[in-house]
Structure 1
Amino acid sequence: MRIALLVMMFPPKNLGGTEIASYNIAKHLARRNHEVHVITSSDPGVPNYKSESGFFIHRTVLNHTKYIGIVLFAITSMIQVTKIRPDIIHAQNITMGMIAFFGKKFFKIPYVVWGRGSDVHLQWKFKKYVSKIVLNNADVSIALSQNMKDEMQKLSKKDIYVIPNGIDPAIFKESKVKKDYTGTKIIYVGSLLPIKGVKYLIKAMQILHPTNPDIHLTIVGDGSDRRSLEQMVHEYALVQNISFVGKLPHKDIPQWLCNNNILVLPSNSEGMPNVLLEAMAAGLPVVATNVGGIPDIIKNKRNGYLVEPKNPQEIAEKIQYLINNSQMRKIISEQNKMDSQRYNWNNIVQNLDSLYSKVLKTD
């Protein structure tokens, strides 16, 4: 099967959840003997055409001028589609689905669209109009979580499948997992943007510090909020307790997770964050907000604890509970390592492959 996978950005320079998932989807589809072509935007210093991990990457021009840039990207991507002539187009979010829609309309190529998070949960111009066109014309629509499916279903007359993100458990076996159930090392991994709610985690650290003077938070990631967050840390006199390490290569994340004791994800909105699955594979208890697809993964007392968004007091209470209860941390740690096996990329892509075959009516 020849597959064109459309995604706005792609590694190595872009390492968000959608980008990492797209890389793994392409790699695992190629391992299943499919001819996979990723169509994405260009990056300075990165070749516009490359073969990697058994699949092909085609990078087209992305002008960052508002609207005009997106239109140019759509046109150049459509040109790539006509050259590749795929059996099926896979769009990695609803906006990419518009390109797939035109591929179906003009060239009769079926398409699959996979909602990724912000395209479903956040507001953007023409969202309702575009989403209805893309979802109602797609041969298959996929959501990452039940919550996302419910949102997408409001705009689609067709049933929507749920397939979560995946992980590669092997990379955690290669990392040195420290079985320390008494430490007070907290980690956050993600972008430093307002929607990620990191300031509420820093406020929780301020609450925790007086009774836990040795507590330490490592913040992995970068973004527009970094300067203001660093300023908060100085104002709260937590410079010795909170470290900003910036953006790291994705291959380094497993070891950073394994070197810490608890993952906290204080987001105001989420799709289905990969870092939760990675933290589970590393055996970390999780404290995360009850938003988006997070409750599909994290069950209270089984995988960690859910808290309400924008509530530093509740975040602090759950972290403190885990600090005080090493036996509970051990139980959750072992449970998380077992539960994470369900999200193996091999299984996820097998389900995706079955949907492709259903669309094309092949075995």
Structure 2
Amino acid sequence: MKILHITAQKPFKTGSGIYVRKVIEQFDKKGFKQAIIAGISNEEKIDIDTHLSLEKYPVYFNVKEMPFPVIGMSDVMPYESTRYRDLDENMIDCFRQGFSRQVIEAVEIFNPDIIICHHLYFLTALTRSLIKDKKIFGVCHGTDLRQLKSIDLKQDFIKDNIRKLDAILALHNDQKEDIKEYFDIKESNIHVVGSGYDDSIFYSRDSSYEKDCIKVIYAGKISYSKGLIPLIKAFSSLDIPKDKIKLSLAGMGSGKEYKDILNTAKESPYKIEFLGNLIQDDLAEKFRQSDIFILPSFYEGLPLVLIEALASGLYVITSEIPGVRQWLGEEINNSGKIRYLTLPRLINVDIPVEEDLPMFENNIKNEIQKIIKNINENKYNNNLDVTHLSWRKLSNRIEKILYKF
């Protein structure tokens, strides 16, 4: 089987980028021939494992033909980016021409059996409008639905062409219902496949681990929508000696949001460190050196970092993100290793109602302190087997769907 993968973003650093890379790696092991079209900056390469047999068709940004940074599906990305909401007609035309050339060239030269487009958004719709005689699948990552619901960019064009996809892969059942309703697509055309993690990298530490203090860690973009300011404020109000706990934030952000979060952390009486972007191996090692992972995000698709943290033996605190409970299943939810935060009321998908934030912060504080009590009492110290949620298993689920077509 020959598969062409298409993404408008850099195929690394973000959650959807990791998803693209890991599916490609797993399909390579199955002997599939693959190619990728991806948006990158002019000084970069498509940075995917050089051992893979993969044809690459980069679309360059920050060049004469596309004189602006790579467009990000989220408004805040861990690298310099352009927001979809800031595109004018000239920029949209540059985007359309740049990707159209590569899509047509890749299809002519590589001649794929199947095309997998990531994000149910403008590029996926553009690909469907250009290529009529190939099977095209769209993968929903959640941020695409957020863009569709928050800005008015080529809505009719996107909806009309997303409906024409041969199939859509959703992360969870709640998202499937959202896709069905928003695009008016038949339920039989939407397949829930979940997300995954790398079980060769993320695994629990050995029993000889010794800690000098409780270590709390977050990993993801450094932005408002991830709930980091409430997290820092909650952490700063803990009733714990200052030398007995610290918070680490892995990831990057940009602009005013990033500076505001840095400044809020500087005001904390507790130790808060910013680790920057970490490669997967380094993040896994940081997880094994930590005790509690927290994701207080206001909006997510299906955060694979939750599985990575659970696989690493961490206690997990996460926002009550739609689809997560169902995805993780009863055994994990009843294990005592994961606790859920009730979300504040939200405006435009991921902006919290200001008056709800004090309660949200207090909930974060209480959950951290409850887990610390469990740690001190050595409760729920068993490591979970989450290998059924690995990339290998995900690729098997996707492969079965592809062969149906």
TM-score range (shorter-chain normalised) is 0.7 to 0.9
Question: What residue is the counterpart of 1:172 in the other structure?
Answer: 202
Question: What residue is the counterpart of 2:177 in the other structure?
Answer: 150
Distance 1:317 1:173, change over 3 A: closer
Query: How far is the alpha carbon of 1:315 from its aligned partner?
Result: 0.8
Supply the distance in 1 between the matched residues of 2:380 and 2:45 (Cα, whole angstroms).
47
Question: What residue is the counterpart of 1:27 in the other structure?
Answer: 25
Query: How far is the alpha carbon of 1:115 from its aligned partner?
Result: 0.2
Question: What residue is the counterpart of 1:343 in the other structure?
Answer: 389
SS across alignment from 2:8: coil
**Contact kept in structure 1, 2:59 and 2:99, CA below 8 Å:** no
Q: Does 1:260 align with 2:285?
A: no
Supply the distance in 2 between the matched residues of 1:7 and 1:126 (Cα, whole angstroms).
18
**Contact kept in structure 2, 1:90 and 1:100, CA below 8 Å:** no
Unaligned runs of 5+ in 1: none
SS across alignment from 1:217: strand
**Contact kept in structure 2, 1:81 and 1:103, CA below 8 Å:** no
What CA deviation, in whole Å up to 9, does each residue of 1:127-186 have, x standing for no partner? 753453243211111111122112111123222111111112121359767656995110
**Contact kept in structure 1, 2:195 and 2:389, CA below 8 Å:** yes
Q: Does 1:226 align with 2:254?
A: no
Question: In the alignment, residue 109 of structure 2 is paired with which amino acid?
Answer: K
**Contact kept in structure 1, 2:96 and 2:126, CA below 8 Å:** no
Supply the distance in 2 between the matched residues of 1:256 and 1:302 (Cα, whole angstroms).
22
Which of 56-65 and 254-263 deviates more? 56-65
Question: What residue is the counterpart of 1:110 in the other structure?
Answer: 135
**Match 1:90 to one of 108, 116, 128:** 116
**Contact kept in structure 2, 1:120 and 1:148, CA below 8 Å:** no
Which of 83-92 and 15-24 deviates more? 83-92
Question: What residue is the counterpart of 2:279 in the other structure?
Answer: 249
**Contact kept in structure 2, 1:142 and 1:163, CA below 8 Å:** yes
TM-score (structure 2 length as normaliser): 0.79
**Match 2:107 to one of 81, 95, 103:** 81
Query: How far is the alpha carbon of 1:21 from its aligned partner?
Result: 0.8
**Match 1:186 to one of 204, 210, 216:** 216
Distance 1:47 1:244, change over 3 A: closer
Question: In the alignment, residue 331 of structure 1 is paired with which amino acid?
Answer: Y
Question: What residue is the counterpart of 2:168 in the other structure?
Answer: 141
Supply the distance in 1 between the matched residues of 2:377 and 2:363 (Cα, whole angstroms).
18
Supply the distance in 2 between the matched residues of 1:181 and 1:32 (Cα, whole angstroms).
41
SS across alignment from 2:55: strand
Supply the distance in 2 between the matched residues of 1:315 and 1:356 (Cα, whole angstroms).
42
Question: What residue is the counterpart of 2:402 in the other structure?
Answer: 356
Query: How far is the alpha carbon of 1:254 from its aligned partner?
Result: 0.6
Tell me how many residue pairs correspond in the alignment.
350
SS across alignment from 1:325: helix
Query: How far is the alpha carbon of 1:294 from its aligned partner?
Result: 3.1
SS across alignment from 2:34: strand
RMSD of the TM alignment (CA)? 2.6
Supply the distance in 2 between the matched residues of 1:145 and 1:281 (Cα, whole angstroms).
20
Q: Does 1:126 align with 2:172?
A: no
Question: In the alignment, residue 99 of structure 1 is paired with which amino acid?
Answer: L
Distance 1:47 1:232, change over 3 A: closer
**Match 1:43 to one of 41, 44, 51:** 41
Distance 1:164 1:181, change over 3 A: farther
Question: In the alignment, residue 111 of structure 1 is paired with which amino acid?
Answer: I
Identity %: 22
Question: In the alignment, residue 221 of structure 2 is paired with which amino acid?
Answer: S
Query: How far is the alpha carbon of 1:316 from its aligned partner?
Result: 0.9
Higher relative helix content: 1
Distance 1:135 1:68, change over 3 A: closer
Query: How far is the alpha carbon of 1:323 from its aligned partner?
Result: 0.2
Distance 1:288 1:25, change over 3 A: same
SS across alignment from 2:168: strand
**Contact kept in structure 1, 2:293 and 2:309, CA below 8 Å:** yes
Unaligned runs of 5+ in 2: 69-86, 344-356
TM-score (structure 1 length as normaliser): 0.87
Question: What residue is the counterpart of 2:338 in the other structure?
Answer: 304
Distance 1:183 1:236, change over 3 A: closer
**Contact kept in structure 2, 1:77 and 1:99, CA below 8 Å:** no
Supply the distance in 2 between the matched residues of 1:313 and 1:74 (Cα, whole angstroms).
47
Distance 1:111 1:328, change over 3 A: farther
Question: In the alignment, residue 236 of structure 1 is paired with which amino acid?
Answer: S
**Contact kept in structure 2, 1:205 and 1:316, CA below 8 Å:** yes
Distance 1:158 1:329, change over 3 A: farther
